[in-house]
Amino acid sequence: MSAYILPVLIIMVLIFAFIRRVAVFDSFAEGAKEALKLIGSIFPYIAGIFVCVTLFRVSGLAAAVTKLVTPFSNTIGIPPELTELIVIRPMSGSGSLALIENIYETYGADSYIARCASVIMGSSETIFYVAAIYFSTTNVKKLRFAIPIALFASVAGAIISCLLCRFL
């Protein structure tokens, strides 16, 4: 049944457009033109974020931060195996997916650490990427507390994720 959702949705949109007498292809072309302008305006920010994340990981700074944060994470109930995931997740979605795949292979998909990692992945976001896209699109220059609060929420989510997984 799920295979029919997209075709039915497209047909419904076309019927609605026909009833409203909307030039569907012209509207599509106009939207595509606006999307290209948007991509052109946010591309430098996306490229900058990807360069920074790559440098963070390749330079060894990610490993150093993880090593520095591990004693603190142990005291608040986060397994040391998850600290690298918590450090990388706000910066890189693909990097955190690679880490979680490694966690699944090492500890098994049903282990406590894998469950915690899954909940952390589901309850967190690539903060720097999203902030770069949203704030560049809206032309916001002063972020004030947006990034620190998002990072705090991400850490709080990780702590709560590990606490909840203990009881499941």
Q: 154 in a domain, yes or no?
A: yes
Q: 31 in a domain, yes or no?
A: yes
Q: Residue 128's pLDDT is what?
A: 86
How many Cβ atoms from other residues are within 10 Å of residue 158's Cβ?
Answer: 25
Q: 16 in a domain, yes or no?
A: no
Q: 122 in a domain, yes or no?
A: yes
Q: 33 in a domain, yes or no?
A: yes
pLDDT over 90 (residue 40): no
Q: DSSP letters of 73-86?
A: HHHTT--GGGHHHH
What's the pLDDT tens digit per position in 78-136?
A: 998 898 899 889 988 888 888 899 999 999 999 999 999 999 999 999 998 888 888 87
Work out the mean pLDDT of the chain and round it to a whole number.
88
Domain that holds residue 113: 25-166
Q: 7 in a domain, yes or no?
A: no
Q: 14 in a domain, yes or no?
A: no
Q: 18 in a domain, yes or no?
A: no
Residues 78, 82: Cα–Cα separation, whole Å: 7
Q: DSSP letters of 30-53?
A: HHHHHHHHHHHHHHHHHHHHHHHH
* Tally of domains within the chain: 1
